[in-house]
Chains A and B, each alone.
Chain A
Amino acid sequence: MNALEFRETGQGKAGGLLLLLLALTAGCTSTTVDEFRQGDTGIENHESVVILGRRQAGNRETSSDFVECVGDRLAQGMDGLSVVPEQEFLDAMFPWFEPRTAPLQPEHLGRLMVEEQVALTMRDFGVRYIIWVDGFTETLNRVGSISCTVAPGGAGCFGYGSWEDDASFNAEIWDVENYNGVGQISTDATGQSFMPAIVIPIPLIARVEANACQRLGDQLKSFVIGG
């Protein structure tokens, strides 16, 4: 009886340790940020930035949620920047910044600003920098299986699942005043997520895209304020 009790306690501890280990490893996301500066930057109090997602690619597009997240990050804090919401800018600038009509090179901004309405709207928003964000998050290496059963006495799941998320985003910063590109910042984040199921599934999710957003946002802010 004592031996049985000991085994049960040992299994419980092992299970607890396994869950703790999974919880700790699930929090691990590796993120790298690369910056390439082509020109001086700086922003006045009355100026703002707009972050736009690139949506020209065929079977994927930069999510507006990620663009919004980066914008929120730039606007945060004592040194927060004034950020024009993406949809508000696209609607006000319609049809000049749509997937098929948006300028692809900073030099094209000059041609666009010849249009009186475009120049006026840009001035109204006080946009000094346009930041183009291009990228996506994909899920790789999905392994494991979880089976769930429902019976008159109750329901439960058992199994284990794991997958890797890889977020890769590139931001191009255009200076609206001088019609040139002033730099690029890219970020890559990867992380492993786990979902053990012992009666109930316990998701231990790696915050890959959130980390990519946070690092990219912080780097963009210091780049724009930069010097």
Chain B
Amino acid sequence: MTIVKLLLPALLLSACGASSVVISGSFPTPNIGKLPLSLAVVYDDTLEEFTYTEYSETGQEEYHIQSGQSHIELFDAILPAMFDRVVRVDAVEEGAGAGVDAIFVPNIEEFQLALPAKTRLDVYEVWIKYNMRLLTAEGDYLADWVLTSYGKTPTETFLGTETAINDAAIVALRDLASTFALSFAQVPEISDWLANR
């Protein structure tokens, strides 16, 4: 009886808690020509530990969406297909010693989630805004640009909200990868830098 008394409040509390969603999926390798560049990439802590919290209409925490690791997996999949050589460094300061042409620092600026219960649409949607930075090997400014990605998944194709959020986020990440891969060399500052090399 004592166990039941102890377990009951715990069960009730757990029923009220926020659900945690760790975004996971696989990403294809881009089928594009490589740029003749050697690149160092820095995943700083804000990206690595990025978590978005979705609140209910009453202000309660509803979902904790951890997508930092999935972004790192995505960049690890696409960067080696885009550049001749890619090395991962822990900080911008390590770039000079890595013998690279440039240092790339991606970051998430904003994450938005739209749930059918709130939008009255038959889709789960994820929208992410990024800030991408490209620096010289010495850490000087080369380019700073914004990218957005969008992913949606229909309500009828899955079993749970967590799966739907994950699927929509993976579509958004795939959208980021395609836009990033095709637009990198067209960012005006990068285009000028490449032309002057």
Contact = CB atoms under 8 A, between A and B. Distances in A.
Interface of A: 59-61, 63, 65, 90-96, 98-101, 115-118, 121
B33 interface: yes
Interface residues of B, number: 19
Interface in B164-197: 174-175, 177-179, 181-182
B10 interface: no
B154 A94 contact: no
A100 B175 contact: yes
A121 B33 CA distance: 13
CB-CB nearest 4 A-B residue pairs = A95-B178, A91-B28, A98-B178, A94-B28
A60 to B, nearest CB: 7
A117 B32 CA distance: 6
Given A60-B122, A95-B177, A101-B182, A121 B154 contact: no
B181 A59 contact: no
B123 interface: yes
Nearest to B27: A94
Nearest to A136: B154
A60 B152 CA distance: 9
Contacts of A115: 32-33
- Taking chain A's interface residues, is the majority helix, strand, or loop, or is none over half, making it mixed? loop
Contacts, number: 51
Given A60-B122, A98-B178, A99-B175, A93 B31 contact: yes
Interface of B: 28-33, 121-123, 152, 154, 157, 174-175, 177-179, 181-182
A69 B174 CA distance: 24
Given A93-B31, A95-B181, 9 more contacts: A63-B157, A92-B31, A94-B31, A95-B32, A98-B175, A100-B175, A115-B32, A117-B33, A118-B31
B178 A101 contact: yes
B42 to A, nearest CB: 23
A94 B82 CA distance: 12
B123 A60 contact: yes
A189 to B, nearest CB: 18
A128 to B, nearest CB: 20
A33 B31 CA distance: 37
A98 B154 contact: no
